[in-house]
Structure 1
Amino acid sequence: MHSYRGDLGLLRDRRFTLLLSARTISVLGSAFAPVALAFGILSLPGADATTLSIVLTAESLPMIVFMLVGGVIADRLPRQRVMMVGELLMAVAFFALGAMLLVGWTPLPALVTAAALGGTATAVTFPALTGIIPEVVPQDRLQTGNALLGLGANASRVAGTVLGGGTVVLFGGGWALVTSGAMFAVAGVLIALLRLEHGERPAGERHSVLADLRDGWREFRSRQWIWVVVAQFSLLVMAIQAGHGVLGPLWAKENMGGPAVWTAFLAGEAIGMICGVLVSIRLRPRRPILVAVLLCLPTALPYLLLGADAPIWAIVAGAFVLGVCFDVFGVLWQTTMQREVPAESLSRVSSYDMLGSLMFGPIGLMLAGPASELFGTEESLLGCAVLVVVSTLGALLSPGVRNLRAEAPPRLTPAQADPK
């Protein structure tokens, strides 16, 4: 039997607490960064939306380009060291951006270089994170560990957005970026303190990067449930990017006169993600991927409500449901991947997962504006809901999604449930 007391006993584990602290602080730094970077760049003399677009593109492109390489690196080298280096590179990038804003020396090539360094560091860090969790968390507690890491990350996103905006208002974008860099540096130090046993691949088994990518691809495509859900999410994320990034704020402006309603929507979603942790810790389905995919169906609810001009309270409630469902999906998905994919390939498979899931997101952003002009904002939001439902129903046709069963976790002894 699992209990909340036994689940939370994981917090007594020193290594997990260090990983949780590092991840929470790193996400807090990431949440600081967008507001600080946007308003810091826009406050520069002669800067405009194009300047900001160039800098943000310089940050995002390396993240996409190097994501697969990051998976190879994280499977080849000790993941603790990869994460530590990634966090410290992000610290350098944001310290540099903040320092340039503070001293007033802001040539565009220098800003672009620092932003690109941050994007590259992100591409290296994310695949390593997925792989390092099973090295820190016992097999029978993976779901709890993922849920608690998600709780810290979700709380940091909410707090970082508020605190980052306040720091920009009070002290300026430069100091906010320096603060963000300091958080990444602290996260890197905490990762360095983990002291994991390293299982680096022997020199005689070294392969080329392309060979490692091919091996990772074979692991990825050999599991139907993985590539089917990634294909589902490539469409689902496209719809969510369009709905969250463009159509939702546009609806709020057209119908409610300002950002207050959209802020309430995002707050409802954030609270839902935090509350979803309570569900994800306790939920132990025998068919985790089937349950996870089914939970994607209610995520269409807020777009249906927005498109139908429902009352604000109902729309915020729909956003809350979306947050709960996405959090539980994420925990079930991560835990299943960590249990089913061999440890030596986990980061590469994770990099294919992230790349495939996110690759159509920019298309959703690009199409949202023209779609709202051609069909109307409400109609386009309903289209997002339809795309979410259709992609999810398509994934449910897969036998691999429906039939994958989780092994029953071993029964915990009292000493394991409450470690000292």
Structure 2
Amino acid sequence: MAGDLGLLRDRRFALLFSARTVSVLGSSFAPVALAFGILELPGATATTLSVVLAAEAVPMVVFMLVGGVIADRLPRNRVMFAADAMSALAFAALGVMLLTRWTPMPALVIVAAISGIAVAMMWPALAGIIPDVVPPERLQTGNALLGLGANSARVLGLVLSGATVALIGGGWSLVVSGVMFAAGAGLIAVLRLKPVERLAEERHSVLADLRDGWKEFISRQWLWVVVAQFSVLVMAMQAAHGVLGPLLAKQSLGGAPAWSAVLAGEAVGMIGGVVVAMRLRPRRPIFLGTLLTLPTALPYLLLGVGAPLWTVVLGAVIMGVSMDVFGVLWQTTMQREIPAESLSRVSSYDALGSLMFGPIGLLVAGPVAVAIGPGPALVGCAAIVVVCGLAALTSPGVRGLTSP
């Protein structure tokens, strides 16, 4: 472990690690603060929350491919700076709106959309920048360390945001989130990439760049099969995490502190997953990672059947471990298998495919919760996660890809 931590002595990786950790700390304030801040507005319902969250998710999906092209054309550190700055603006504005009680739906939708566009710029740039600052033989360690910082920040942010929402409301939590994103932008602004590490950019149209990225993406069965799996899995997760879980917590578990405990349990599990991921060198990384998506249904099932809160938190810990190990194996495999000059575009197809049904989950979750109740809806989400995971495991590409 001490040898793994030695990567933090590299100045460029340390800056990337710090910037990412601070930004995740900011983003971890948002789920609890936004969910309960919106639900506390006069006349707000689960459908109101669904609309606001979908307003963030739809632009995120729509602009994801453009974000990939931008990140393959421009210095990725600059793209990350712009994304963090946009997030800072969006969350600070949302916080001020909640504090002043000036919350017309069109304004909420616009600000949420800015946040979604920022995420669409950040994800492909982050996926592509890691090989720019980490030696090839240490990619898995670098991915795991970034996960360690991000997950530690999630735990701290979720605990603090739950307390902040309970004591003084969601508005201040969102303002703090904006400040954290601004700090992350400041740190990434200091990062400099060596010019020799950037491939010479050929002048192509955006459509040609997207076509080349698509060829890289579709030529790998393991890649598009798992992305197809996640398009359905994320739909269920968005519904459960964004709407159904907070709604059930508000109705029967005591509100924001209980939901914060569930999210914190997931983040704690992800910290534990880092330790596993640093040591794990599976021969078939995508098969193992896909297998680990099955236990992620556990907290939704426990919530849905009315299990005690402590069991739900334990289920969330198991979910966190599973998702973190999957994430490290997935990112490391992509970085090894896909050419560096196409990595951000392929990552944008990955993100687009994985997230494209997320807005549907958010929009449907509210009306479904009203129709059948959040408990049965959460059980349905758990079933969807398991079924799509088992389907992905039937793919020869998923089962057969081996690591070097």
TM tier, smaller: 0.7 to 0.9
User: Which residue of 2 is the match for residue 288 of structure 1?
Assistant: 285
Asked if 1:70 corresponds to 2:63, the answer is no
Asked if 1:118 corresponds to 2:115, the answer is yes
Asked if 1:356 corresponds to 2:369, the answer is no
CA–CA distance in structure 1, aligned partners of residues 382 and 315 of structure 2: 12
Given candidates 174, 179, 189, the residue that maps to 2:176 is: 179
Given candidates 329, 344, 350, the residue that maps to 1:347 is: 344
Deviation at 1:72, TM superposition (A): 0.5
CA–CA distance in structure 2, aligned partners of residues 320 and 219 of structure 1: 35
User: Which residue of 2 is the match for residue 192 of structure 1?
Assistant: 189
Deviation at 1:194, TM superposition (A): 1.7
User: Which residue of 2 is the match for residue 394 of structure 1?
Assistant: 391
Gap change, CA 1:123 and 1:308, over 3 Å in 2: closer
Given candidates 131, 150, 156, the residue that maps to 2:153 is: 156
Gap change, CA 1:370 and 1:192, over 3 Å in 2: closer
Cα deviation digits, residues 93-115 of structure 1 (max 9, x gap) = 34445566677877766555444
Deviation at 1:161, TM superposition (A): 2.6
Deviation at 1:370, TM superposition (A): 5.9
User: Which residue of 2 is the match for residue 413 of structure 1?
Assistant: none
Deviation at 1:299, TM superposition (A): 2.2
User: Which residue of 2 is the match for residue 272 of structure 1?
Assistant: 269
Secondary structure, counterpart of 1:319 in structure 2: helix
Structure 2: runs of 5+ lacking an equivalent: none
Given candidates 314, 317, 328, the residue that maps to 1:331 is: 328
Cα deviation digits, residues 214-257 of structure 1 (max 9, x gap) = 11111111111010001111122223334444555566677x55
Q: Is the contact between residue 77 and residue 200 of structure 1 (CA under 8 Å) also seen in structure 2?
A: no
Gap change, CA 1:34 and 1:18, over 3 Å in 2: same
Deviation at 1:307, TM superposition (A): 5.4
CA–CA distance in structure 1, aligned partners of residues 96 and 253 of structure 2: 37
Cα deviation digits, residues 304-336 of structure 1 (max 9, x gap) = 445565565544333221111111111111111
User: Which residue of 1 is the match for residue 216 of structure 2?
Assistant: 219
TM-score normalised by the chain length of structure 1? 0.83
User: Which residue of 2 is the match for residue 321 of structure 1?
Assistant: 318
CA–CA distance in structure 2, aligned partners of residues 67 and 377 of structure 1: 30
Secondary structure, counterpart of 2:283 in structure 1: coil
CA–CA distance in structure 1, aligned partners of residues 314 and 98 of structure 2: 40
Given candidates 85, 89, 94, the residue that maps to 2:86 is: 89
Structure 1: runs of 5+ lacking an equivalent: 408-420
Given candidates 27, 30, 43, the residue that maps to 1:30 is: 27
Q: Which AA in structure 2 matches 1:61?
A: V
Deviation at 1:83, TM superposition (A): 0.9
Q: Is the contact between residue 25 and residue 187 of structure 1 (CA under 8 Å) also seen in structure 2?
A: yes
Q: Percent identity?
A: 69
Moved more, 298-307 or 103-112: 103-112
CA–CA distance in structure 1, aligned partners of residues 114 and 173 of structure 2: 18
CA–CA distance in structure 2, aligned partners of residues 93 and 337 of structure 1: 31
Moved more, 326-335 or 184-193: 184-193
Gap change, CA 1:189 and 1:371, over 3 Å in 2: closer
CA–CA distance in structure 2, aligned partners of residues 41 and 369 of structure 1: 13
User: Which residue of 2 is the match for residue 59 of structure 1?
Assistant: 56
Cα deviation digits, residues 48-107 of structure 1 (max 9, x gap) = 458766654443332221111001100111111111122223233344455666778777
Q: Which AA in structure 2 matches 1:348?
A: R
CA–CA distance in structure 1, aligned partners of residues 235 and 115 of structure 2: 24
Asked if 1:5 corresponds to 2:8, the answer is no
CA–CA distance in structure 1, aligned partners of residues 91 and 154 of structure 2: 18
Q: Is the contact between residue 222 and residue 395 of structure 2 (CA under 8 Å) also seen in structure 1?
A: yes
Q: Is the contact between residue 237 and residue 357 of structure 1 (CA under 8 Å) also seen in structure 2?
A: yes
Secondary structure, counterpart of 1:405 in structure 2: coil
CA RMSD of aligned residues (A): 3.3
Gap change, CA 1:166 and 1:213, over 3 Å in 2: same
CA–CA distance in structure 2, aligned partners of residues 118 and 379 of structure 1: 31
CA–CA distance in structure 2, aligned partners of residues 174 and 155 of structure 1: 23
Deviation at 1:25, TM superposition (A): 0.5
Secondary structure, counterpart of 1:406 in structure 2: coil
TM-score normalised by the chain length of structure 2? 0.86
User: Which residue of 2 is the match for residue 239 of structure 1?
Assistant: 236
Deviation at 1:341, TM superposition (A): 0.9
Moved more, 58-67 or 172-181: 172-181
Q: Which AA in structure 2 matches 1:401?
A: V
Moved more, 75-84 or 148-157: 148-157
Asked if 1:136 corresponds to 2:137, the answer is no
CA–CA distance in structure 1, aligned partners of residues 378 and 44 of structure 2: 29
Q: Which AA in structure 2 matches 1:137?
A: V
Structure of greater Rg: 1
Q: Which AA in structure 1 matches 2:393?
A: L
Give the total of aligned pairs: 401
